[in-house]
């Protein structure tokens, strides 16, 4: 079973969309998604600098649009070869599109709302996120509790992303839990924590105008790593996800249990394939960073 993955915030880099604009239909697709999201995706994906695309209200639509566009190219005429889809954090909106739960326009419109709402909440208190690599889980959790930090993304493969006030994150980096390494992440808020509660209400209001469909491809949820068969339930999980932890570790456990034989990560790719190489060793994977990588991804999909 080949699973197609969509990455979350922090995977963007300046200019990463540039090579895709020469692919037939991509510029036009991005234009339609720009109109729906309220973000000039072509400009931000080609010429905007790292600080600009770090802004939550820009980063989230930019990342999801890239996954939607490259996912559409990948599955066109090959949908029957896709065993399942999943997204990490905001990438779940791209997964919802690929699975047929949401249209591309509805998905990116809701992501635009989500990004703006989360940016507003992040502006109220100086917060952020850091990756914690290694260490014993109990030891890590004890240190987080001391500092008032939350395990926001449990990513598996020996990585936990923690979130909270910036002062506490600085203290963690200066005095980490034994056996760990702390890496600050290029995100501007304590996402997937109680700091984002206000954004949940805003997103729920926006989602009330959308009628989701039941998935036509198997889709996993970050809530607990399970597969979801109801579009309404999946959309509800997407809303609640904003202020709840991402359980990517449970998703990877489910991938292994369900017999995943290959992994394709859509643009802007790299992070999820990296986690899979540590947590799902030996499974072939392709990170779709460029049109050339898309060729390799098609080969993997068609060989399944």
For 127-184, CATH gives 3.30.70.250
Considering only the top CATH level, what class is 2-122+193-302?
A: alpha beta
E strand or H helix at 130: strand 127-134
Q: Kindly report the backbone phi and psi dihedral angles of residue 110, in degrees, each rounded to the nearest multiple of 5, phi listed first.
A: -65, -35
| Distance (Å) of CA 107 to CA 35, 54, 68, 129 | 13, 20, 9, 25
Would the pLDDT of 279 be above 90?
no
SS3 124: coil
Residue 89 DSSP class? T
- Rounded mean pLDDT of the chain? 95
> 39-63: per-residue pLDDT in tens?
999 999 999 999 999 899 999 999 9
The rounded distance, in Å, linking the Cα atoms of 297 and 302 is 9
Q: To 5 degrees, how large is the angle CA 187–CA 193–CA 195?
A: 80
* Mean pLDDT across 116-127: 94
Q: Kindly report the backbone phi and psi dihedral angles of residue 230, in degrees, each rounded to the nearest multiple of 5, phi listed first.
A: -110, 125
Distance of CA 168 to the CA centre of its chain: 25
pLDDT in the model for residue 185: 87
> 101-113: per-residue pLDDT in tens?
999 999 999 999 9
Residues of the chain with CATH 3.30.70.250: 127-184
Q: How many CB atoms lie within 10 A of CB 292?
A: 9
Would the pLDDT of 93 be above 90?
yes
pLDDT band at 300 (very low <50, low <70, confident <90, very high): very high
Q: Against a cut of 0.75, is the pTM above it?
A: yes
The rounded distance, in Å, linking the Cα atoms of 198 and 285 is 37
Among candidates 300, 57, 295, which has minimal Cα distance to 199?
57
Which structure tokens are listed for 258? 């369900």
pLDDT in the model for residue 159: 87
The rounded distance, in Å, linking the Cα atoms of 125 and 105 is 31
* Mean pLDDT across 124-144: 93
Residues of the chain with CATH 3.40.366.10: 2-122+193-302
The rounded distance, in Å, linking the Cα atoms of 272 and 105 is 25
pLDDT band at 204 (very low <50, low <70, confident <90, very high): very high
Please, are residues 264 and 285 in contact by the beta-carbon 8 Å criterion?
Answer: yes
> 215-271: per-residue pLDDT in tens?
999 999 999 999 999 999 999 999 999 999 999 999 999 999 999 999 999 999 999
Report the catalytic residues.
89, 192
């Amino acid at each position: 079973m080949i699973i197609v993955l969509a990455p979350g915030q922090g995977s963007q880099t300046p200019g990463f969309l540039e090579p895709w604009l020469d692919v037939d239909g991509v510029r036009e697709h991005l234009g339609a998604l720009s109109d729906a999201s309220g973000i000039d995706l072509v400009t931000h994906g080609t010429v905007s600098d790292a600080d600009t695309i770090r802004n939550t209200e820009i980063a989230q639509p930019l990342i999801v649009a890239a996954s939607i566009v490259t996912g559409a190219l990948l599955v066109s005429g090959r949908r029957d070869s896709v065993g399942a889809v999943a997204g990490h954090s905001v990438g779940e909106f791209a997964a919802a599109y690929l699975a047929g739960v949401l249209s591309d326009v509805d998905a990116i419109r809701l992501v635009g709302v989500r990004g703006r709402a989360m940016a507003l909440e992040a502006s109220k208190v100086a917060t952020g996120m850091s990756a914690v690599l290694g260490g014993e889980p109990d030891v890590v959790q004890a240190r987080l509790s001391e500092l008032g930090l939350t395990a926001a993304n449990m990513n598996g493969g020996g990585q936990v992303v923690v979130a909270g006030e910036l002062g506490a994150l600085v203290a963690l980096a200066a005095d980490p839990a034994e056996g760990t390494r702390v890496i600050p992440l290029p995100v501007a808020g304590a996402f997937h924590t109680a700091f984002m509660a206000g954004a949940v209400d805003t997103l729920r209001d926006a989602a009330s105008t959308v009628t989701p469909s039941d998935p036509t491809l198997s889709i996993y949820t970050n809530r607990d790593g399970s597969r979801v068969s109801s579009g309404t339930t999946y959309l509800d999980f997407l809303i609640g996800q904003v202020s709840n932890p991402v359980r990517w570790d449970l998703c990877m456990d489910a991938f292994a249990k369900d017999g995943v034989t290959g992994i394709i990560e859509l643009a802007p790719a790299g992070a999820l394939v990296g986690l899979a190489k540590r947590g799902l060793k030996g499974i072939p994977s392709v990170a779709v960073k460029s049109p050339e990588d898309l060729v390799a991804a098609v080969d993997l999909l068609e060989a399944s």
